[in-house]
Homo-oligomer: A and B are copies of this chain.
């Protein structure tokens, strides 16, 4: 559910802006760079977007929508089990960071370039991402399946390690995305010190 319907033709501009912001940063990117990269005139750009800031907002919104969409979908498919839910969350995050590094890097670094009026909404989304992970991790701790003594730090660690993927992962490298997902899910479960409840499981043993 993107907040912007993205009427045709905007795509080239947004993509150019995204690439440019990602490569040089918002502050170092000129609106002319974007127009040129998109192959449209400066005026055309202004016809579609109110200005540089609006481009950033649109890109961040889109990135956040896409990411949270993926998370929601993953969680919807998962059951109630905290481990399963954490797996879902980590898998969704890894897939997004590895599959959309440009979108990811902008969302992760250009929040500071937002003007005050747009910052609140952005902070809210940051908070939402944190909450997602916190809820599931705290659930696991409460259920006694995540043994980590530092749930907050474990959460930050898991998020940080997933986010970092956007910076180094190359799809043409030796590790495929699904293999990566598997590894990070495993790592995340290690971080939270996941111990499946095995007590008194009569059958099968």
Listed in ascending order, the chain A residues whose CB lies under 8 Å from chain B are 23-29, 109, 112-113, 148-150, 153-154, 156-157, 159-161, 163-164, 168, 180, 183-184, 186-187, 190-191, 193
From the candidates B23, B26, B113, B187, name the one contacting A153 in the complex (CB within 8 A): B187
Partner of A150, one of B112, B148, B187, B193: B187
CB distance from A32 to the nearest CB of B (A): 12
- Asked whether B187 lies within 8 Å of A154 as measured between CB atoms, the reply is yes
- Nearest Cβ in chain B — how far from A109, in angstroms? 7
- Please list 21 pairs of residues, one from A and one from B, whose beta carbons are closer than 8 Å in the complex, sorted by A's number: A23-B112, A24-B112, A25-B26, A25-B27, A25-B28, A26-B27, A27-B28, A148-B190, A149-B186, A150-B186, A153-B183, A153-B184, A156-B164, A157-B161, A157-B191, A159-B164, A160-B160, A160-B164, A161-B161, A190-B190, A191-B191
| Given contact pairs A28-B113, A153-B180, a sample of 4 additional A-B residue pairs in the complex whose CB atoms are under 8 Å apart | A28-B28, A157-B187, A160-B163, A161-B161
Number of copies: 4
Given contacts A25-B27, A109-B109, A157 and B157 within 8 Å (CB-CB) = yes
Decide yes or no: A112 and B187 within 8 Å by CB, A160-B161, A164-B160 being known contacts: no
A113, A163, A183, A190 — most chain B CB neighbours (10 Å) = A190
Q: In whole angstroms, what is the CA distance A180 to B153 when docked? A: 9
Q: How far is the CA of A184 from the CA of B152 in the complex (A)?
A: 11
- When chains A and B are docked, how far (Å) is the Cα of A161 from the Cα of B161? 6
